[in-house]
């Protein structure tokens, strides 16, 4: 005879923390992180900022110019591959735990409507909408809309801080007439958030968001999701997704071992209004509210929940434990690592000055200078200082072997100052008064290297560009000598 005893409901639920509470804490963490990140700077550079105003990208406290936006595709690749990988591993866990839409709905529905104003009687019943026809509820709803509108302004401002630095944002909003695009963007975002959170609600997840359509092709038998266990609870729906049982007695008459009480707590608590017992549905956002509801009901009976955060392989097919680090997941991890390494390598090649060298249309000019023939080549330097402070710039010319020191700088004679974010146009003249090539038939194009640098920060701010110096054919030099 077995000495094991069935645990009581109190014993079974002892120490149990609902997923809903864990989600609230996680939402708080995500909110704090999203609000704090725009304010974190090192030497004036942000952790992440895509500034359309100043045409800058700040990434990991390094400032990149818009010409260096080749990094953005790698960031987007990391974002989307990461979300797809998370979906393969944990279903729509992004939707239930990270997505701003879900967080905003929880704040409005669970905090404002339920806890603060009492419009909804219970958090556990998300199917029954408040009766807004009552006078007192009309006033409460107005207060709820006003409260959420205020929070929507904070959320809209926080979003804009990733595109307009907070220090500039605060200055801009004090002069709204001069920054109509910014003010209009904020008002547009606020209007959308009010409509979305208060009126569109979870219909955004069900009908608008494309992610729910993508998830079905990403899932496999090992994908972890909120899933009902019909092997223990019994089949509530047939193969055509038609409901066949609404009462426990009817269910037990067909399957005496079925443990589902048909209380439908898992249904009433669902924010997207689905019945998890029907099986996988694209509306499910993996918020795990149904897992909490069933855990509480079955826990009082001393039994584990019939709705689990598990995989079809483990719960439905009972083919063994869920394999988390399977080839598909390892493939996503590998791709993410490779893309991250490429991003880090490309980011490490950051240039603190941008330099374009354009040769002028006239190939060269020839002058007789005190009996010596001087050949000049003119260039246009377009130089941009991508740092936050003024710097003085100059450059050196490196000629090929055998011509070292024979190509010299005529203009400018001294270093010149470039202010941050300003494209400086500088006419540069290089010359030689020596015979570099003696070719009677054609002009000679000589490759040269331009080493440009900040005089006061040569070790950090330096770039190298390749260009050419055109030397005329011999007969033209002789004509100038004569």
CATH number, domain of 421, equals 2.60.40.10
Residue 328 resides in a domain:
no
First to last CA, the chain: 123
Residue 314 resides in a domain:
yes
Q: Is the pLDDT of residue 7 over 80?
A: no
Structural domain harbouring 3: 1-39+91-319
Same domain, 302 and 367: no
Question: Contact at 8 Å (CB) between 193 and 107?
Answer: no
Q: Is the pLDDT of residue 67 over 70?
A: no
Residue 329 resides in a domain:
no
Residue 61 resides in a domain:
no
- pLDDT tens string 282-339: 888 899 999 999 999 999 888 999 999 999 888 888 888 889 889 999 999 999 999 9
- For residue 334, the model assigns a pLDDT of 95
Compute the distance between CA of residue 56 and CA of residue 75 in angstroms, rounded to an integer: 15
Residue 12 resides in a domain:
yes
Over residues 270-287, the mean pLDDT reads 89
Position 159 confidence tier, pLDDT thresholds 50, 70, 90? very high
* Nearest Cα to Cα of residue 65 among 354, 383, 358: 354
Q: Indicate the pTM of the whole model.
A: 0.78
Compute the distance between CA of residue 480 and CA of residue 406 in angstroms, rounded to an integer: 19
Same domain, 361 and 315: no
Same domain, 389 and 298: no
Q: Residues 311-327, buried b or exposed e (16+ Cβ, 10 A)?
A: bbbbbbeeeeebeeeee
* Nearest Cα to Cα of residue 431 among 394, 467, 471: 471
Q: Is the pLDDT of residue 458 over 90?
A: no
- For residue 3, the model assigns a pLDDT of 46
Measured from the Cβ of residue 181, the count of other Cβ atoms closer than 10 Å reads 11
pLDDT averaged over every residue in the chain: 88
148 vs 413 pLDDT, higher one: 148
Domain finish residue from 266, 300, 319: 319
Domain total in the chain: 2
Same domain, 114 and 26: yes
353-359 and 307-310 strand pairing = unpaired
């Amino acid at each position: 005879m077995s000495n094991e005893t069935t645990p009581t409901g109190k014993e079974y639920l002892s120490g149990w923390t609902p997923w809903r509470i864990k989600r609230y804490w996680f939402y708080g963490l995500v909110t704090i992180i999203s609000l704090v990140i725009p304010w974190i700077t090192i030497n004036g550079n942000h952790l992440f900022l895509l500034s359309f105003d100043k045409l800058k990208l700040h990434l990991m406290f390094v400032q990149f110019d818009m010409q260096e936006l080749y990094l953005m595709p790698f960031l987007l690749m990391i974002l989307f591959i990461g979300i797809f990988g998370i979906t393969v591993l944990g279903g729509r866990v992004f939707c239930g735990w990270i997505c701003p839409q879900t967080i905003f709905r929880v704040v409005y529905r669970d905090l404002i409507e339920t806890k603060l104003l009492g419009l909804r009687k219970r958090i556990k019943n998300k199917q029954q909408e408040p009766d807004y026809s009552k006078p007192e509820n009309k006033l409460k709803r107005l207060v709820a809309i006003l409260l959420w509108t205020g929070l929507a302004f904070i959320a809209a401002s926080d979003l804009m801080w990733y595109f307009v630095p907070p220090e500039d944002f605060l200055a801009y909003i004090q002069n709204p007439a001069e920054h109509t695009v910014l003010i209009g963007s904020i008002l547009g975002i606020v209007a959308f958030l009010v409509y979305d959170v208060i009126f569109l609600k979870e219909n955004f997840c069900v009908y608008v968001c494309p992610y729910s359509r993508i998830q079905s092709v990403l899932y496999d038998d090992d994908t972890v999701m909120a899933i009902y266990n019909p092997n223990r609870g019994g089949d509530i729906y047939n193969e055509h997704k038609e409901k066949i049982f609404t009462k426990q007695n009817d269910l037990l008459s067909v399957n005496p071992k079925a443990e589902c009480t048909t209380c439908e707590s898992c249904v009433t608590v669902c924010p997207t209004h689905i019945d998890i017992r029907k099986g996988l549905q694209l509306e499910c956002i993996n918020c795990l509210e149904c897992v909490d509801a069933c855990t509480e009901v079955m826990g009082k009976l001393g039994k584990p929940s019939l709705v689990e955060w598990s995989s079809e392989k483990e719960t439905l097919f009972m083919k063994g434990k869920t394999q988390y680090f399977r080839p598909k997941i390892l493939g996503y991890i590998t791709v993410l690592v490779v893309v991250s390494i490429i991003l880090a390598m490309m980011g490490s090649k950051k240039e603190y000055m941008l330099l374009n060298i354009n040769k002028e249309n006239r190939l060269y000019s020839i002058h007789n200078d005190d009996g010596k023939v001087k050949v000049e080549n003119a260039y246009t330097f377009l130089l941009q200082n991508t740092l936050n402070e003024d710097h003085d710039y100059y450059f050196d010319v490196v000629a090929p072997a055998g011509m070292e020191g024979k190509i010299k700088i005529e203009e400018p004679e001294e270093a010149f100052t470039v202010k941050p974010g300003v494209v400086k146009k500088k006419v540069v003249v290089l010359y030689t008064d020596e015979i570099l090539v003696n070719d009677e038939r054609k002009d000679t194009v000589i490759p040269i290297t331009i080493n440009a640098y900040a005089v006061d920060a040569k070790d950090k701010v330096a770039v190298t560009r390749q260009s050419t110096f055109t030397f005329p054919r011999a007969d033209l030099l002789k004509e100038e000598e004569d």
